[in-house]
Amino acid sequence: MKIIWTRHATERQQEWQKKLGITRPEVEELVMNPAQIVPGDLGAFVAQTRRGRGLLRLPFAQVGDDRRILTVYWTSKVDKYWKGE
Burial of 82 (0-12, 13-18, 19+ CB in 10 A): middle
Q: Rounded to whole angstroms, how far apart are CA atoms 70 and 85?
A: 26
77: Cβ contacts below 8 Å, ≥ 6 apart: 54, 55
The pTM assigned to this predicted structure is 0.92
Q: Indicate the domain borders of the chain.
A: 3-77
pLDDT at residue 81, as a whole number: 94
Q: Is the pLDDT of residue 85 over 70?
A: no
Q: Does the domain made of 3-77 have the CATH classification 3.30.2310?
A: yes
Per-residue pLDDT reduced to its tens digit, 1-48: 899 999 999 999 999 999 999 999 999 999 999 999 999 999 999 999
